[in-house]
Amino acid sequence: MIPDRLFDPISIGNLELKNRILMPAMHMNMCRKFVVTDQLINFYIERAKGGVGMISVGYATVDELSGQPGNIGAHRDEFIPGLTALATAIKKEGAAACVQLNHSGRYNFSLFLGGKKPVAPSPVPSRMTRETPRELEADEILAIIQRFADAAGRVKSAGFDAVEVLAGTGYLISEFLSPLTNQRQDQYGGSLENRMRFGLEVIRAVKATTGDDFPLVVRINGNDFMPGGIGRKELKAFAVQLVNAGADALCINVGWHEAQVPQIVTKVPRGVFAYLARDIRSEVKVPVIASHRINDPDVARNLIGGGFCDMVAMGRSLIADPQLPNKAREHQEGKIVHCVACGQGCFDNLFKMRPVECLCNPRVGKEAETALKLTDHPLKVLVVGGGAAGMSAAIAAAEQGHQVVLHEQSLTLGGQLLLAGAPPGRDEFLVLADDLKQQLFDLNVQVVLNSAVDTQLLAEQKPEALIVATGGIPISPNIPGADLPHVVQAWDVLAGKEITGQRVAIIGGGAVGVETALLLAEEGTLSGDELKFLLVHQAETAEELYRLATTGSKQLTLIEMINKLGTNFGKSTRWSMLQDVKRSDIETRTEAKVLEITPAGVIIEQAGQRHEIPADTVVLAVGTKAQNPLQKIAAEQQILCQVVGDAKQPAMVFDAIHQGFTAGRSLL
């Protein structure tokens, strides 16, 4: 058997790791006033049990201005007991434990600082916070360097195996490094040598405090993707100097939070940014870790085997499935639940000031209270509907030992996941549908397809519990002409059941409308393989290839009543979807009321003026209404009944999966 490089041991400094999978630091917002909570400890216990080589927690703060109360605190001795408890819990389950230290600089909010201004190398406003930071004085810079060192000392005393310093992503160290945010005229500004100084002094100070035998990882950008910022060449030079200053490993990420290149969303190809790790790996003699959108063991193996990196960082992948490393090692990869990079439970929750959750894994943040308990009284459970909510409910009930039968009226499982996965760059939702199907199979859930549940079937089956997940149906609006033959539903377009003409008007600019527009915008564009072929053979100029990759064959108009598009997308997804709408030259009409659909197109009223939009096909994407014909029947037959997903109230996939899980687990 060919050795599995993913599970070869590797050393960072004098610390040997059992495999090459790192769970990188991610802000979980599970601390309270900087204090480690049981919620955070239980979250990481689950990941350590899953077989990961090392877990880096954080980021952790170095002083009062460096973070917010939901971060892990490392800036005072009073936080050491919590740090100790966290380190002990992770190491007890067989993973090495590391803490990432960071100062957010201009990315902090005065709201978290008692009204104080965030600090930075120069008073350059942040597009993310919409605040202007205060410029640091020279003595304050020296004090922050020492605070990094002091925090590292606390990390070591708490029993962690290693410490990490975040020197990228637009936070303080990278703010000193970039000419965009560093306009200083002293020894910390100007030349690249001067702009590197702050970060290198932090690394030297940390190393001096913790000692040469305590491993130090530095996380840096391979490219910041900021016009006028730091590119690959200067970042490679910085990487070399970081190693000279004492870094024992480098973890390579990409982009600042303000960058316009998508970094974390579903459409980002798996492992696409690993080329940046390979660039840096060619310049240094310490382990290099690749990161971003590595959610499958085969991707990880290919990156390591192809010389892109020595290790892989799998963050949200291990949020979605803590057991991913064990499943990969035990050749059970078909059972992995893959992160879909939707951002709905992780990044979007942070914007809402809530602890991280996960669309794919309803147990995240609730590990203790949702620990599996087998029932003493197995029930005969009937689940109606094979979409996200129904499959989630069936899985949760079967895990507890109930006898579960799932009925789906169509010929396949997946429901609206199949529609969500239809637009370009959204195929991870199709993977999720397959992952849920696999869990049903593994749990021996009986699946009956092409089966409509009615009064007679319920009477014959006599289930002791019924979970209704019959989903929703698209709304047909009361618009004159909506019944004309060239008017179709967006769901049918996404499902490939309808062919549209060259000129298409889409009524409804919510998520479904935007996704439908982007799907249609792809028609007539170059595929990835075609683009690579023409690029490699220099058949066309780069400008022409860009045009051919982004300009399709259809004329598309997106019509929305309110003044914004895609308001029901999550915040971390919406901006990139709207970026694609603009790039694809889709005409948008907001604050537009549809008056009538005619054989020639759509008549709208916008700003008090009537306009006619020519259209060969009119697509309706005006919303969903619940479809729940069984609740009343269940009551008449005295069957315990729960309604979940769109059958209860149209919402997002996140809500469907979580509601299904809760319903299934509630059966005792």
Evaluate if residue 572 carries a pLDDT over 90.
no
Distance CA 74, CA 63 (A): 8
- Smallest CA-to-CA distance from 403 within 422, 433, 429, 382 is with 382
Classify residue 662 by burial, with Cβ atoms within 10 Å: 0-12, 13-18, 19+.
middle
Output the pLDDT for position 389: 98
Evaluate if residue 43 carries a pLDDT over 90.
yes
Distance CA 370, CA 373 (A): 8
> For residues 438 and 613, is the Cβ–Cβ distance under 8 A?
no
Evaluate if residue 1 carries a pLDDT over 70.
no
Distance CA 238, CA 198 (A): 11
Output the pLDDT for position 339: 97
- Smallest CA-to-CA distance from 520 within 503, 540, 533, 534 is with 503
- Greatest CA separation for the chain: 83
Cα–Cα distance list, 660 to 223, 318, 320, 655 (Å): 41, 21, 16, 8
User: Peptide bond before 59: cis, by omega within 30 degrees of 0?
Assistant: yes
Mean pLDDT of 663-668: 94
Q: What is the pLDDT of residues 391-423, one digit of tens each?
A: 999 999 999 999 999 999 999 999 999 999 999
CA dihedral 528, 531, 536, 538 (to 10 degrees): -170
Contacts of 175 (CB under 8 A, 6+ apart): 105, 106, 120, 121, 181, 182
Distance CA 392, CA 440 (A): 9
| The pair of three-digit structure tokens given for residue 62, joined into one six-digit string | 């170095």
| Cα dihedral sign, 597-601-606-610 | negative
Task: Give the position of tokens 């992948």.
Answer: 317
Distance CA 514, CA 578 (A): 8
Which DSSP string corresponds to 608-622? Answer: TEEEEEE-SEEEE--
What mean pLDDT value characterizes the chain?
Answer: 96
Q: How far is CA 210 from the centre of its chain?
A: 34
Contacts of 57 (CB under 8 A, 6+ apart): 25, 40, 44, 72, 86, 90, 97, 98, 99, 100
Q: What is the pLDDT of residues 505-525, one digit of tens each?
A: 999 999 999 999 999 999 999
Cα–Cα distance list, 76 to 62, 99, 152 (Å): 8, 15, 11
Contacts of 663 (CB under 8 A, 6+ apart): 393, 396, 397, 467, 642, 644
Contacts of 411 (CB under 8 A, 6+ apart): 449, 450
Distance CA 332, CA 642 (A): 33
- Smallest CA-to-CA distance from 317 within 290, 352, 292, 334 is with 292
Output the pLDDT for position 277: 98
Distance CA 470, CA 453 (A): 10
Output the pLDDT for position 668: 83
Distance CA 375, CA 377 (A): 5
CATH number (3.40.50.720, 3.50.50.60, 3.30.70.100, 1.10.760.10) of 380-473+625-665 reads 3.40.50.720
Evaluate if residue 443 carries a pLDDT over 90.
yes
Distance CA 275, CA 289 (A): 11
Domain ranges of the chain: 5-12+19-351, 380-473+625-665, 477-622
Q: 3: pLDDT confidence band, cut at 50, 70 and 90?
A: confident
CATH number (3.90.550.10, 3.50.50.60, 3.40.50.11810, 3.90.79.10) of 477-622 reads 3.50.50.60
Distance CA 24, CA 536 (A): 35
CA dihedral 554, 560, 563, 567 (to 10 degrees): -90
Residue 545 CB neighbour total at 10 angstroms: 18
> For residues 565 and 517, is the Cβ–Cβ distance under 8 A?
no
Residue type, 281: R
Q: What is the pLDDT of residues 224-281, one digit of tens each?
A: 999 999 999 999 999 999 999 999 999 999 999 999 999 989 999 999 999 999 999 9
Strand segments (E) across 304-387: 311-313, 380-384
Question: Which pTM value belongs to this model?
Answer: 0.95
Output the pLDDT for position 463: 97
Q: How far is CA 273 from the centre of its chain?
A: 15
Distance CA 152, CA 208 (A): 10
Residue 94 CB neighbour total at 10 angstroms: 13
Q: What percent of the chain has pLDDT above 90?
A: 96
Q: What is the pLDDT of residues 328-369, one digit of tens each?
A: 999 999 999 999 999 999 989 988 889 999 999 999 999 999
Q: How far is CA 663 from the centre of its chain?
A: 25
Strand segments (E) across 502-659: 503-507, 555-559, 587-589, 592-598, 601-606, 609-614, 617-620, 624-626, 640-643
Output the pLDDT for position 143: 98
Mean pLDDT of 608-612: 95
CA dihedral 423, 428, 429, 432 (to 10 degrees): 160
Contacts of 197 (CB under 8 A, 6+ apart): 176, 187, 188
Evaluate if residue 570 carries a pLDDT over 90.
no
Cα–Cα distance list, 468 to 250, 313, 347, 644 (Å): 50, 39, 30, 6
* Protein fold of 5-12+19-351: TIM Barrel (3.20.20)
Distance CA 81, CA 38 (A): 12
Mean pLDDT of 538-543: 96
- β-pair partners for 166: 219
Q: What is the pLDDT of residues 47-98, one digit of tens each?
A: 999 999 999 999 999 999 999 999 999 999 999 999 999 999 999 999 999 9
Which DSSP string corresponds to 258-318? Answer: T-SS--SSTTSPTTTTHHHHHHHHTT-SS-EEE-SS--SHHHHHHHHHTTS-SEEE-SHHH
